[in-house]
Amino acid sequence: MIGRLGELWQHTPLAFWLVLAACLYFAVMAVRLTIIDVRHHLLPNRIVFPSYAVAGALLLAAAAVAWASPLPAAGDAVTGILAAPALRVVAGAGILWLFYFVLRFVYPPGMGFGDVKLAGVLGMYLGYLSWGHLFAGTFLAFLLGGLWSLALLAARRGTLKSSIPFGPFMLAGAAAAMLLPA
């Protein structure tokens, strides 16, 4: 995201400000959801649902502004319509939501529906950057959650039946992926 912000600042300042606003919103949303999920094992709809509108509006507007004045060689390996950031925002939300929905459907005790709803929001952010970021953010969420679970088991602070809030790991994985270069 940092690299993308630099490119946008040089070529389309309006898109820069829109993406920066989306990133600031992400940071506030992530902190609020992490605190609530750790304390209550809950990702409230009153935070997640408006995030679709805010992130979607800001990221789609940034994509439209950037499309109106294209960046030189944005570095995306996929060309054509699949490289369009607006399509990736929408498709990223749908793909990640569906992936988490299938996980929830296959093993309901393993994941709450709040995680499924949050996945769509994170898919917008990661999709805006690239398909690789979408994959990396998802992978990092499971890696971080798995490492935390192993640490709890090793420290004898949890068992295989212990439930952990997964939202913070989803948010951390997405944030880490957003820091990766394009």
| Residue 162 confidence class, pLDDT cut points 50, 70, 90 | confident
- Cβ-proximal residues to 173 (8 Å cutoff; 6+ apart), any chain: 137, 138, 139, 140, 141, 142, 143, 144
Q: Which residue has the higher pLDDT, 84 or 143?
A: 143
Task: Please give the full DSSP string across 10-41, using - where no structure is assigned.
Answer: HH-HHHHHHHHHHHHHHHHHHHHHHHHHHHHS
Domain interval for residue 127: 2-179
- Where do we find the tokens 């709809």? 45
Q: For position 155, what pLDDT does the model report? A: 93
- The dihedral sign for the CA sequence 16, 65, 27, 100: negative
Distance, C-alpha 120 to centroid of its chain: 8
| Residue 77 confidence class, pLDDT cut points 50, 70, 90 | very low
| C-alpha R_g of the chain | 17
Q: 70 pLDDT exceeds 70?
A: no
Tell me what the mean pLDDT of segment 60-84 comes to.
68
Number of domains in the chain: 1
